[in-house]
Copies of this chain bind each other. A is one copy, B any other.
Amino acid sequence: MRSIKNPEERRNEILDVAEMFFTTKGYSKTTIKDILNEVGIAKGTFYYYFQSKEEVMDAVITRFVETGVKAAKVIASDPNLKAPEKIFRIIMAQTPEVGGKEKMIEELHQVDNAEMHQKSLVETILHLTPVLTEVIEQGISEGAFKTPYPKETVEFLLVGSQFLLDEGIFKWEPHDLMQKAIALVHIIETTLGAEPGSFAYILGRYDQSQEGK
């Protein structure tokens, strides 16, 4: 059946479906055919919009990261907020679960998805670091933080949190995960020279994910 749509809409349809499959099945285990069947288009149409399977992954990641970065920029440029509050809001804005349209299915532990994980982590670091660094520097001049390497510290913290706390890469027990989150909070506070306990709110996320079970 042939149905003609607004190109932008079609493109987003493909992106939506691809994102879903990449997230649930992993990139390499997702077939072009999977996407075609779900969207309801033919091969040719897919390759009319994208040059390769990998280009779709890049587009999915770009779209995904960009959302978080845009939100971060808005928060960062608010002149009425102190640095710690900005950090808090930026972190909260990174997960679409709450802020997004519909709640994402939690059961999808994105196993065996190294390609996507790495690329999205790289993109996140490349685009979110500048925004966060500026906030940290604001915090330093406000006296809330203290570190000689704000940018590099942000990078290290992003890598550490995204990699170590991500379900799907390691298979930590709930208890270990909580322990890591607690340690991470301590490391954040230590490396940023922040008040002990000032980042404890992060733990809220890992509490809840345990309660749900």
Instruction: List the 3 closest A-B pairs by CB distance, nearest first.
Output: A152-B183, A149-B183, A114-B118
Q: Which of A143-167 contact B (CB under 8 A)?
A: 148-149, 151-153, 155-156, 159-160, 163-164
- Asked if A170 is an interface residue, CB under 8 A from chain B, the answer is yes
Complex CA–CA separation, A142 to B52 (angstroms): 57
In the complex, the answer to whether B187 meets A191 with C-beta atoms within 8 Å is yes
Shortest CB-to-CB span from A75 to chain B, Å, is 25
Q: Is the CB of A159 within 8 A of B152?
A: no
Is A209 part of the contact surface with B, judged by Cβ < 8 Å?
Answer: no
Q: A156-B160, A164-B159, A191-B191 are in contact. Are A186 and B117 (CB under 8 A)?
A: no
The answer to whether B114 and A169 have CB atoms under 8 Å apart is no
Number of interface residues of A (CB under 8 A): 32
**Cβ contacts under 8 Å, A180 to chain B:** 152, 155
Indicate if A115 sits at the interface (CB-CB under 8 A). Answer: yes
For the complex, what is the distance from the CA of A163 to the CA of B114, rounded to whole Å?
A: 13
Is A184 located at the chain interface by the 8 A CB criterion? Answer: yes
Q: Tell me, rounded to whole Å, the shortest Cβ–Cβ distance linking A81 to chain B.
A: 26
Given A152-B179, A153-B183, output 7 extra A-B contacts at Cβ < 8 Å. Answer: A122-B170, A126-B170, A149-B182, A151-B183, A153-B187, A156-B164, A160-B160
What residues of B have a CB within 8 angstroms of the CB of A148 in the complex?
186
12 A-B pairs with CB atoms under 8 Å apart are A28-B28, A115-B115, A117-B118, A118-B118, A125-B170, A149-B182, A152-B180, A152-B184, A153-B183, A156-B156, A190-B190, A190-B191
